[in-house]
Structures are given as C-alpha cells and as structure tokens.
Amino acid sequence: MDSLFDAVAEETHRGHEPLAVRMRPRGLDEVIGQRHLLGPGTPLRRLVESEAPMSLFLWGPPGTGKTTLAYVVAGATERRFVEVSAVSAGVKEVRAAIESARRELGMSGRQTVLFVDEVHRFNKAQQDALLPAVENRWVTFIGATTENPFFSVISPLLSRSLLLTLEPLSDDDVRKVLERAVTDPRGLDGKVTLAPEAADHLVRLAGGDARRSLTYLEAAALIADGEITVETVERAVDKAAVRYDRQGDQHYDVISGFIKSMRGSDADAALHYLARMVEAGEDPRFIARRIVIFASEDVGMADPTCLQVAVAAAQAVEFVGLPEGRLNLAQAVIHCALAPKSNAVITAVDAAAADVRRGDIGQVPAHLRDSHYAGAGKLGHGEGYKYPHDFEHGLVRQDYAPAEIRDRRYYRPTRHGAEAGFADRWTRIRAFLRGR
C-alpha cells in the first residue's frame, strides 16, 4: 500500500469488484483446470515454492487463467505485484516499473512480479526494455499472451523465459467455477441457486472461458428471483439457449443436416447448421474435420481446390481459435456447398478396398518390384521396367496392376466441374495403357 489514500480507496472498492475478480483463486490449489501446469515439480510449483526469480510466458485463449496464475504466484510468495498493460503502457512506463522494482529489491530485498498483460502488443522497442530486468533477474517477469509468442515476441526475450501453454477449460472445469461462485462467500454466497439446465447453458456460452462464464453468471444473478434458470440467463445475456447436446441426438442430427445441406449445394442451410454448432459450443476442430472429409467425399476432383480450402480452414481454426475462426469455417462451407459435386473418389477407393477384402490381390508385377537391395536382380525384380519420363508425354505402355485385377475399373469420373477434364484425360490414358 503506497499511501493512506490508497488504503481507503481499496477498502471502498472491496466487495464491488466484478465477480470474476472476487473469485480469483488465492493459491495454486484453488486453481481449476490447467492440471498439466500445476502438478508437483512443474515450473509454476517451483516458482511458488522457491525464492529464485524466474521469467515465463503464459500463452493461451482468453479466460483460461493467465492473469489468475500471475496473481497467485505473487500472493503465494509474498512478492510485490506490479501489472502493466501492453495496451496502454509504453517504454517509459516499463522502465519506471523496472526501476521501482530495483529500488524495492535493494532497500528491502523484496522481489517484484512484473506482469505484462497482452505482451504481444508491445513493439520491439518496448520488449527490448524488458530485457535487462529479465536477464539480471531484477523482477520475476510474467507475460500473458493470446497469440503465438514465437511470432509475436522477440527471440532474446523468449529465449530467456519459460513458455507455458494454457488449455481451454473443459466443460466440467467451467461448471466447477460456476458452482463455487454460487456458494462461496466471496461470490454470490448462496443468495441464489443455479438450475442444472442454466448451468449447462452458461457452460456452452462460456466456450472454455472461465471469466466469461462468471460475467454471465453475475448478470443473471442480478435479475434472478431466487433461482437462475435458463430463461434468466437468456434475458441477462440476450442470447437464446441453443438446444444442442454434444453427446446426444442433436449432435448427430445437426452435423447430418450440415453435411447433407453442403452436399445439396444449399449454402444458406449449411451456414445455419454451422452457426448452430458454433453458438452451442461445438468443438470447431470437429466441424473442420467434417469439412475436410466432405471436400474429398462429395466434391473430389470436380473441384480439387475444395480440399485445399478445407485444410486451410482447419489450420486457421487451430491457429486463430474462436470466435474469429468461424469466418474461416464459413468460407470453407460456402466453397464446399457451391462447388460442383462428385463422389467418384470415395466410390473408387471403396471399390478397390472391396476387391482387396475379397482376396483379389495378386502379385505386384516383377518389373515394378523393388530392385534396390542386394540380390533383387537375381530374382528378376525391376527387370524390364520402363521409366515413364524417358518417353513422350511421360507415358509408356506396361502392366502396372496385378494380373488378377488388370481390367477392373475403380475410378469412374463424372462430367461435373473440373472432373470433366480429368475424365477425358483418364479415358485417353487408360485406353493407351491397356493397349486399346
């Protein structure tokens, strides 16, 4: 406390903080989630249990506990806590915070936790200003970021720090956060109850973000009449509950409607089902995987770029996350829905697999077998193989398939979209290879 006025201001403000602030854990044992970071012997445990300063980055989605962990480290070790926001602070503020920490360390021996939130927003000069404090261990530096630090943090700073990755909270974790807040004296102190259906709805709305779940819970509690129901949450958050069970019929029905709408080229219907899944808290990676599968199963060679778009969307979702990742998913959905359709790819591979299961396998022709090992020549492996690149158009007539299935036809291209061109080419190539 720097002055009497600070003490009075803090006392006046106490009890009026947002619920998410009041429910901030006071020790590592109160932290919900992030079990991979909190076990015995982990860097965070060592930081709390020892007096040695340490620098680390906490990287994870919003509401996963980055600020909470920084406060816990400071409180559990009785270190002085100084927070700097990269949104508003510049080099001057950073240097002032470091100089203050050096003075405190010199006069009392008390260490300082310098917490920089949204550290990825600092430019190179601002990050450079942190280097002396980190290198000389004048402070215990903790930087929080929602963006990949390998792209947003300068290498000298990152190499001198530990990088800890936080994961989105599970549904069970968020539910525990809500239940604790309802009964804890620091929270709602049992003045309201939370209906199970309302808890489920809050969990879906939170999307793995504990802070968001507590913000919505607090808003609902303000208008609740003894019990927080689904209707209470809908009125408080102005967001209707999406009837969707990730483990039940709705999950399978909605994803089925989603796939069949894309297959039927109805982009609007497909976007509706996409929005239902996203708003209900469905794992975006699951949606992305279904789109990638669809791109080959239902579009295939009719538009080969569809798979590229689908894979790019899946990678973007991993990189960006929600809510922005829904844009990447929507782009892929529209592309897939409007693309010409062909199921020739899945039909071809299924037909080939059916022959294999029936035992129609045969021997690999001798001239195609591996000839790179000692003794292969004596067995006749590779003998007579014709290297296609040595021939006009890169084509040469020779047997490629086992004799048993030489005349089988698996790939039967449609005349839809780009596949019409592949169909013409495959017809000519196949006729040439088969000697017709």
Give me the residues paired with residue 83 across strands: 115
Which residues, 6 or more positions from 41, have their beta carbon under 8 angstroms from its beta carbon? none
CA 406-407-409 angle, 5° bins: 110
CA distance 185 to 49: 28
CA distance 35 to 31: 9
Q: How far apart are the first and last CA of the chain?
A: 92
CA distance 382 to 247: 53
CA distance 232 to 217: 10
Backbone angles phi and psi of 32, in degrees to 5: -100, 130
- Model confidence pTM above 0.75: no
Strands 112-117 and 140-145: parallel
Give me the residues paired with residue 113 across strands: 81, 140
CA distance 63 to 191: 25
User: Could you report the per-residue pLDDT of 283-315, keeping only the tens digit for each?
Assistant: 888 899 999 999 999 999 999 999 999 999 999
Residue 12 — pLDDT band, cuts 50, 70, 90? Answer: very low
**Looking at the predicted structure, is the pLDDT value of residue 239 above 60?**
no
User: Could you report the per-residue pLDDT of 119-134, keeping only the tens digit for each?
Assistant: 988 989 889 989 999 9
**Looking at the predicted structure, is the pLDDT value of residue 46 above 70?**
yes
